[in-house]
Amino acid sequence: MALPPSLLIRTAKTIWTTLWRTMMAQMAPSDKGGAYQRPDSEFCDRIPSSTFPSDAQRYRLIVGMGCPWAHRTLIVRTLKGLDRAIPITIVSPSGNEGCWVFDQPSAMDSLGCRTMPQFYDKAQSGYQGRATVPLLWDTQTNTIVNNESAEIIEILNNAFNDWATHPEMNLYPTELQPEIDQWNKRIYHNVNNGVYRCGFAQTQTAYTTACNELFEALDDIDTTLASQRYLCGSQLTLTDIRLFTTLIRFDVAYYGLFKCNRRRISDYENLSGYVRDIYQLPGVAATCDVDAIKRDYFGNLFPLNPGGIIPLGPDLANLQAPHGRASL
């Protein structure tokens, strides 16, 4: 005998909402108002230092191709020409285990780890924090150097110039640092983490605040980019790379899955050309794995997309179109 629909709906809603809240609390810690609170990164050593001297092939980057934070490190590694000096290991998300897993035999197999949490535990026994990517690993002492992308990209920019194919490329020049730092602060809160603050919001108010702040920042950035090629003028810097990895995921994932749907990046006149400009820099397109982005976001963030269906669009052929920004 079928249940009366209203009872069925009420029961399903109660169970579903309770499960959703429980899973969201685990996946996305929030404050009392339901706003997402990203946990701080816990490993913040630098290279060069007395413990971690600069050296080629000693350090390894562990990345996930869908992850915007890991993507920053891949782009800086590529632009600097550090492919030989800093090898990478790619991990994939395991939807069932809720963590990153090593899917191919890797140089670190000798450590006997299959998942990122096991790997963090090797570096710090009993580690209870988030086992995030990207991770800069020291293969000599078998420990973590750094797991904060904002710091790893500074390390990659500075510490390995003796082995870099493009040592002359300085993405964090001293004279631009105050301006870069200012952009970073605004872009991190409103855009990089802003899209997560929309998608991981657990109340309407938290979502509305995040969404308003996100689009206010994007509107301002679009205006800035009307008269200059990059955020700090004519020179590409770390702040552009930090912005780019969010923008390239925007129409693909954040617009739909994270409800960042006031406008697409492709609707912005200047931001859309800016994305094409950076995408077309030598080596950058090869770091952009759109299938992995779709798979990792739509396929693995179960509380946001329980059916796991991965959308077919959008059409990104336009990324190869002329950007017309060189004259700015």
Ligand X SMILES: N[C@@H](CCC(=O)N[C@@H](CS)C(=O)NCC(=O)O)C(=O)O
If DSSP codes are grouped into helix, strand and coil, which group holds residue 198?
Answer: helix
Say which of 36, 59, 120, 196 is annotated catalytic.
196
Q: Does 270 bind ligand X (CB under 6 A)?
A: no
Q: Does 134 bind ligand X (CB under 6 A)?
A: yes
**Active-site residue flag, 127:** no
The number of CA neighbours under 13 Å toward the Cβ of 222 is 18
What string marks each residue from 35 to 74 as x (binds ligand X by CB under 6 A) or -?
------x-------------------------x-x-----
Cα(313)–Cα(23) distance, rounded to whole angstroms? 28
Q: Does 297 bind ligand X (CB under 6 A)?
A: no
Q: Does 131 bind ligand X (CB under 6 A)?
A: yes
Report the residue number, 73 or 270, with the smaller CB distance to ligand X: 73
In the sheet that 135-138 helps form, which strands lie side by side, from edge to edge?
A: 99-102, 88-94, 59-64, 135-138, 143-146
Backbone phi, psi, residue 168, to 5°:
-70, -20
Asked whether 211 and 44 are in contact (CB, 8 A), the reply is: no
Among 132, 245, 270, 300, the residue binding ligand X under the rule CB under 6 A is 132
Say which of 59, 67, 232, 288 is annotated catalytic.
67
| Contact partners, residue 319, CB within 8 Å, separation at least 6 | 275, 276, 279, 280, 285
Among 78, 89, 149, 272, the residue binding ligand X under the rule CB under 6 A is 149
**Active-site residue flag, 196:** yes
Report the residue number, 63 or 265, with the smaller CB distance to ligand X: 63
258, amino acid identity: F
Which range, of 132-140, 215-223, 246-254, 275-283, touches ligand X by CB under 6 A?
A: 132-140
| Contact partners, residue 71, CB within 8 Å, separation at least 6 | 63, 65, 245, 248, 287, 288
Which range, of 3-11, 130-138, 240-248, 251-259, touches ligand X by CB under 6 A?
A: 130-138
User: Min. distance of Cβ 149 from ligand X in angstroms?
Assistant: 3
Q: Does 119 bind ligand X (CB under 6 A)?
A: no
Q: Identify the DSSP state of 66.
A: T
Active-site positions read 67, 196
Contact footprint for ligand X (CB under 6 A): 41, 67, 69, 130-134, 147-150
